Amino acid sequence: MISNKVIKDTAYQIMGKAAIDIPQDYRKGIEFMVQKEDGLSKFVLKTMMENWDAATEDRRPMCADSGLPRYYVKVGNEAKFEGGPIAIERALREATAQATHDIPLRPNRVHPLWRTDHNNNVGINSPEIDWSFEPGVDWIDITTVHKGGLFGTDYRMLFPGDGIDGIKRFFLDTLVSFGKRGLACQPAVVGIGLGGSKDTTMVLGKQAACLRTVGEANPDPEIAKLEQELKEMGNDIGMGAMGFVGASMVADCHIEVGYTHTGGMPMSVHMFCLSSRRATARIHADGTVTYRTDPNWFTPYMRRETTGWEE
Amino acid sequence: MADTNKEFKEVRLQVPVQQEDLEKLEIGTIVYLDGVIYTGREGVYKRVLEDGFDIPLDLPALSNVNFHCSPAAAIEPDGTFNVGGVTATASFRFAKWMTDWFKKSGAKIIIGKGGMTSEQYKELYVPAGAVYLTTVGYGTGALLGRGIKKVRQVEWYEELGNAQAMWVFDVENFGPFIVDSDLKGNSLFEQEGKKINQKLDKLYEGLKKPALSRYGETDDRSDELI
């Protein structure tokens, strides 16, 4: 039985790790990109790397816009935990409030109309908690993502006849419009959602940007090829960090798909910024905890195509 | 524009900044600041310029540098402050208040994210003799947090909340920032954007348009759109 206290303490820990320590996969991606740049674009990327070092050395958030902290929880089908899912949600909300004060994070979350700020990043529908499940295991994975909330995302209903050209155009439209003046805080991990219901399209794209690591390809080789092609296309725009002339828009491009309406091809684009903040913990059945930066969210079970599932 | 073989022009300025300091700044210059700076954004602008409250600081004597940001900061139960980092927010959203704010505050440097067009700088900033600095990469919250040596005071914390309150910081070697607009209203972002725009047509070459357009791709509301 996993105790509720362990869940809360673990969520609190990953809040700090996400806010402070840049994931190694993203850092490696940027270290590669900086070699291609010169002038101001190079200066900007080098300064960002110094900033990551300063954050880790001082244990302070790498970016003061600590985004919209949220959680992705993957529960093993055999996991036993105290208090049920309601207790997990309460623990995550308490950890958010506590971490917001202690790290500190910026209390970004306000009521959309009254702008009421509880100063703890907790409120109506905040933090978001996405649930998924995993067969045949007894652990719980908790991932937190702190992604900025204003720029770099768009949605469009395309149609099958629009084809790959339509996908490429909308990809470029989004990168060019949000890349100007660097509003997307690029180079970014670009996540693309294709298919599903409209809300699923948005969710898949967001998860593709935030929950896959730089260098990781979609298991479908044709989709992986498209990911690579779009990545190169984005870096050929001629734009770099802050919208200066350069070749660094896309640290990596991830596509996730869902079966969709036969007449449509909805698409979303999401950009996870130069402060790509994510951290994951696995709580084992005996209450021990291991930490990592790869959420490993898109398991074969998550991408299943058939009615049943053979364990 | 800088190139690989040229070192960037870098300056360190004491706040309040003087006219001769501002004259030295060219677009692309790297800037670090020492002295006192304050935060102020839509909450402060609305309260002062629309609701008629007096600015609770002695401006510009105390400081003539206004940072468009909210800190990642907390007030401890004993009243002390814990500042993690600061990161700018996009400044173009505050354009409508800037002319009056410059008159009231005497600000000469605005620090923020994203800058504006040269046309906006010439309309809003040049008459006030003010320049615009952009933060770097937009995420250097930790480096900037290091540059904050002390929170001098926080005003309107209760009224406006943590993010919108006026935070007043003692800073040392606070930066880096990049000059986006000089006293003439040139815009680095705009100049860079123009260079990038030249390539855009080629980028889209050969990609056919989707079956249905959206608003924004046409101004004609009578078109069939999605």
Q: What is the pLDDT of residues A244-275, one digit of tens each?
A: 999 999 999 999 999 999 999 999 999 999 99
Instruction: Please report the number of interchain residue pairs, chain A to chain B, with beta-carbon separation below 8 angstroms.
Output: 199
- What pLDDT does residue B7 have? 65
Tokens of A53: 């070092």
pLDDT in tens, A49-60: 999 999 999 999
Quick check: B226 pLDDT over 90?
Answer: no
Rounded to the nearest angstrom, the minimum Cα separation between B143 and chain A is 5
- What pLDDT does residue A262 have? 97
Mean pLDDT of chain A: 96
pLDDT in tens, B5-54: 456 899 999 999 999 999 999 999 999 999 999 999 999 999 999 999 99
Cβ-defined contact of B161 to A274 (cutoff 8 Å)? no
Cβ-defined contact of B163 to A108 (cutoff 8 Å)? yes
Q: Which domains does chain B have, with CATH numbers?
A: 10-204 (3.20.130.10)
pLDDT in tens, B40-89: 999 999 999 999 999 999 999 999 999 999 888 888 899 899 888 888 88
ipTM of the complex: 0.88
Instruction: Give B223's pLDDT tier (boundaries 50, 70, 90).
Output: confident
Quick check: A234 pLDDT over 80?
Answer: yes
By the 8 A CB rule, do A51 and A274 touch?
no
Point out the residue among A45, A55, A157 whose CB comes nearest to the CB of B142. A55
pLDDT in tens, A82-109: 999 999 999 999 999 999 999 999 899 9
Best to test chain A binding among B42, B207, B213 (most A CBs inside 10 Å): B207
Sign of CA dihedral B92, B97, B99, B104: negative
Instruction: Give A25's pLDDT tier (boundaries 50, 70, 90).
Output: very high
- What pLDDT does residue B5 have? 41
Quick check: A302 pLDDT over 80?
Answer: yes
- What pLDDT does residue B214 have? 86
Quick check: A121 pLDDT over 90?
Answer: yes
Rounded to the nearest angstrom, the minimum Cα separation between A119 and chain B is 7
Quick check: B221 pLDDT over 80?
Answer: no
Quick check: A116 pLDDT over 60?
Answer: yes
pLDDT in tens, A271-289: 999 999 999 999 999 999 9
